[in-house]
Amino acid sequence: MRNAFADEITKLGAEDPRVVLLSGDIGNKMFDKFKTAAESRFYNCGVAEANMMGVAAGMALCGLRPVIYTITPFTTTRCFEQIRVDVCYHRAPVTIVGTGAGLSYAELGPTHHSCEDLALLRALPGMTVLAPCDEVEVRLALRAAIAHDGPVYMRIGKKGEPVIHQQPPDFRIGHAITIRQGENVCLISTGNIMAVVLSAADRLSERGISARVESFHTVKPLDRERLLELFERYPLIAVVEEHGRIGGLGSSIAEWLAEQEAPRARLLSFGTDDVFMHEVGSQEYARDKFGLTADNISTKVLARLHTMRH
């Protein structure tokens, strides 16, 4: 995903003289092409994210379209007040990109994990929150973010994620994309865990359950229209995200659901637990620890469908 980001921001930098790229001393060589094409619009702001966020807001207030890039915790929790005051309060069109979403950097330890960013960022007034599911969505989301006249937060994975979309889909902020049609249950996902969700859908299919799969690349604003359609059509909706179950997409949908007139479909939420990981391992290991596997998701969905029938 991050290579797709680097490639797309280079194109955008060449197309749009308002685009400025700010990096927090990461992405060694990744942005060489951007620098060659638009040297005066690349700033390595050092290991000083609070200042970087303020600088971006100042640029946005002068008509530029700054894009900030660094590792997710450092571009969110490290400088949260600058995002709140400098960016959101001013409605400054800054695009904040966090790489290493969720457990992408599992082996680096909890300082580099990011399982609270969706919760925090979606609480900010006027903030748009995006979590594209593959490199195709990354490119489209980045274009949509820069075209958007307000602040955008976008979390992306690292490198080597499976490509989900064979053709570029119709990407609009706030409009979910149907990845796969299905009859019996619906799996909603956001961000870099989509491949696991598709595997879970495959497992369900092997057991005779046809699962629809949706990419909610926009966590905020929530696609309420699509939710209404899904919750009317399916008896069970499972939400899967590489993020804490507190405050993420699952929570957001639960908030929406609580305000709906009964009866509606049941909601099942998969995400990380309310703990820091003290046993280090690969991203797959970390996902497994939190039950974010095709096996666990399909088993739980089957069990819930079974209970609901009896």
Partner 1 sequence: MSATTTYTKPDRAAQLDLPRLSSLARTLRARIIENSHKTQTPHLGSCLSCVDILVAAYFHVLRIDPAQPRDPLRDRFILSKGHGAPALFHVLAARGFYPESMLETYGQDGSVFAEHPPTPDHLPGIEAATGSLGHGLPMGLGMALSARIQGHPYRVFALLSDGECNEGSVWEAAMLAAAQRVDKLAVIVDFNKWQATGRSEQIMALSPLVEKWRAFGWNAQETDGHDIRALVQLLERVPDGSGKPVAIIAHTVKGKGVSFMEDDNNWHYRTPNAEELAAAKKELGVA
Contacting residues toward partner 1, per CB under 8 A: 20, 40-41, 43, 45-46, 48, 50-64, 66, 81-82, 85-86, 89-91
Q: Which is nearer to partner 1, 45 or 230 (CB)?
A: 45
Q: Which is nearer to partner 1, 86 or 223 (CB)?
A: 86
Report the alpha-carbon distance of residue 88 to residue 83 in Å, rounded. 6
Report the alpha-carbon distance of residue 185 to residue 211 in Å, rounded. 5
Q: Which is nearer to partner 1, 26 or 50 (CB)?
A: 50
| In the complex, minimum distance from the CB of residue 84 to partner 1, in angstroms, rounded to a whole number | 9
| In the complex, minimum distance from the CB of residue 16 to partner 1, in angstroms, rounded to a whole number | 13
| In the complex, minimum distance from the CB of residue 98 to partner 1, in angstroms, rounded to a whole number | 19
Q: Which is nearer to partner 1, 61 or 246 (CB)?
A: 61
Q: Which is nearer to partner 1, 57 or 136 (CB)?
A: 57
| In the complex, minimum distance from the CB of residue 89 to partner 1, in angstroms, rounded to a whole number | 6
Report the alpha-carbon distance of residue 310 to residue 308 in Å, rounded. 6
| Beta strand pairing call for 185-190 and 218-220 | unpaired
| In the complex, minimum distance from the CB of residue 61 to partner 1, in angstroms, rounded to a whole number | 7
Q: Which is nearer to partner 1, 38 or 156 (CB)?
A: 38
CA distance from start to end of the chain: 43
| In the complex, minimum distance from the CB of residue 62 to partner 1, in angstroms, rounded to a whole number | 4
